[in-house]
């Protein structure tokens, strides 16, 4: 799996919705990504759907922590309530710069603050996808980890997006951003570059 390239292409994407199919062991996240073609204007529709198949486990932590609190308050949440919980963040950018096959140190930061941890299959899947949402100045955060076997990217109409093309579009956007390309100006004020 092209971990580094995928991480860059997913950086600062806007998380629109998620869907979980327990029966078929599928997790989908719909994103508005930062991408540019090789030439010409920025695309009007940047929506992609990232589909994780062979999902064996999903865990999430929904929590708040006010400035005067020493420990976060873990909020109740179930797998079935997860799409609604994500929707309540109103379409935030993905927080962080690593999403695919993160080091275990990422999991240890919140793995003991779980709202739920649901196994969907007996055998552990080899890959992980981790997503995080933060609610601006409000002290609310959602961390989500999905263990999966394979990943596919499609457009809004279900057409397969080649993984390398997806990565290249993201790399072009960030290179254009660094060069002050006007095609990135509508998003630039609201994003932080990947590490």
Please give the pLDDT value at position 70.
Answer: 75
Grouped pLDDT means (10 residues each) for the chain, 195 residues: 92 96 98 94 94 98 81 93 93 90 91 97 96 81 97 96 97 92 81 63
pTM above 0.85, yes or no: yes
Task: Read off the tokens for 46.
Answer: 């940047």
Where would I find the beta strands (DSSP E) of 33-173?
Answer: 47-53, 57-64, 73-74, 116-119, 127-134, 140-148, 150-155
| 72: exposed, middle or buried (Cβ count in 10 Å: 0-12, 13-18, 19+) | middle
Is residue 5 within 8 A of residue 91, CB to CB? The reply is: no
**Distance separating alpha carbons of residues 148 and 157, to the nearest angstrom:** 23
Please give the pLDDT value at position 194.
Answer: 58
Please give the pLDDT value at position 137.
Answer: 63
Task: Read off the tokens for 104.
Answer: 């275990």
**Token match 């998003």: residue?**
187
| 18: exposed, middle or buried (Cβ count in 10 Å: 0-12, 13-18, 19+) | buried
If phi over 0 gives left and psi between -120 and 50 gives alpha, with beta otherwise, what is residue 40?
Answer: left
At residue 50's C-alpha, the angle toward residues 46 and 56, to 5°, is 165
DSSP 3-state assignment of 70? coil
Please give the pLDDT value at position 125.
Answer: 97
**Token match 């590490």: residue?**
195
What secondary structure, in 3-state letters, does 64-103 show? ECCCCCCCCEECCCCCCCHHHHHHCCCCCECCCCCCECCC
Please give the pLDDT value at position 66.
Answer: 72
| Domain residue limits, the chain | 3-188
Is residue 140 within 8 A of residue 86, CB to CB? The reply is: no
């Amino acid at each position: 799996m092209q971990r580094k390239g995928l991480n860059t292409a997913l950086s600062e994407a806007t998380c629109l919705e998620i869907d979980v199919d327990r029966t078929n062991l599928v997790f989908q996240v719909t994103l508005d990504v930062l991408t540019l073609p090789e030439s010409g204007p920025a695309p009007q529709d940047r929506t992609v759907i990232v589909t994780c198949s062979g999902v064996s486990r999903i865990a999430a932590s929904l929590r708040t922590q006010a400035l005067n609190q020493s420990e976060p308050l873990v909020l109740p949440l179930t797998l079935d309530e997860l799409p609604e919980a994500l929707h309540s963040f109103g379409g935030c950018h993905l927080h962080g710069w690593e999403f695919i096959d993160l080091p275990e140190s990422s999991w240890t930061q919140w793995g003991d603050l779980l709202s739920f941890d649901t196994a969907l299959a007996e055998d552990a899947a080899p890959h992980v996808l981790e997503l995080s949402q933060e609610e601006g100045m409000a002290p609310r955060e959602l961390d989500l980890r999905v263990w999966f076997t394979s990943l596919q990217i499609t457009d809004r109409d279900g057409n397969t997006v080649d993984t390398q093309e997806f990565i290249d579009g993201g790399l072009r956007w960030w290179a254009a951003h660094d060069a002050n390309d006007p095609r990135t100006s509508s998003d630039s004020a609201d994003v932080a570059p990947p590490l």
